[in-house]
Amino acid sequence: MSQPETTCLVVDDSAVIRKVARRIIEEIGYAVSEAEDGDAALELCAKAMPDFILLDWNMPNKDGYAFLQELRRTEAGRHPKVVFCTTENDVGAIARALRAGADEYIMKPFDRDILTAKLEQVGLPQRVSA
């Protein structure tokens, strides 16, 4: 019997970032879905909760912070791991994101090594050898 597929949701208003993240995460060995803002991401989560979310912080409509607060209120114990992703490295912003329920933080631009390391840190080891 095959294992249930581990799924990652990439939430970012930049199609380029989504494409780069998708490629890396699929290479690591996980299935990827995409959302361009917090509202679209919440809809996807309501249908099928992912195991991991790579979350942009600054987005139109519903931003990363608002999405994360709502996700943690409604996730009902399923607790997907959330790595928030921003162009800033301000201590206050990082601490605020952690308080809102983020598990890890990554600064843009990221590469395969960094994203792989962060996924491992939140418990998603690489499935496909590099």
Question: Which residues would be at the binding site for another protein (CB under 8 A)?
Answer: 89-91, 94-95, 98, 104-107, 110, 113-114, 117-118, 120-121
Strands in the chain per DSSP E: 7-11, 31-35, 52-56, 81-86, 104-107
* Residue 44 vs 94, nearer CB to another protein: 94
Judged by CB, which is closer to another protein: 5, or 90? 90
State the minimum distance, in angstroms, from the CB of residue 79 to another protein: 16
- Residue closer to another protein by CB (options 5, 111) is 111
Shortest gap between Cβ of 98 and another protein (angstroms)? 7
DSSP state letters, 94-127 = HHHHHHTT--EEEESS--HHHHHHHHHHTT---S
Minimum distance, C-beta of residue 60 to another protein, in the bound complex (Å): 26
- Residue length of the chain: 130
Bridge partners, 15 (sequence order): none
User: How far apart are CB 48 and another protein at their closest, in Å?
Assistant: 27
Helix (H, G, I), strand (E, B) or coil at 85: strand
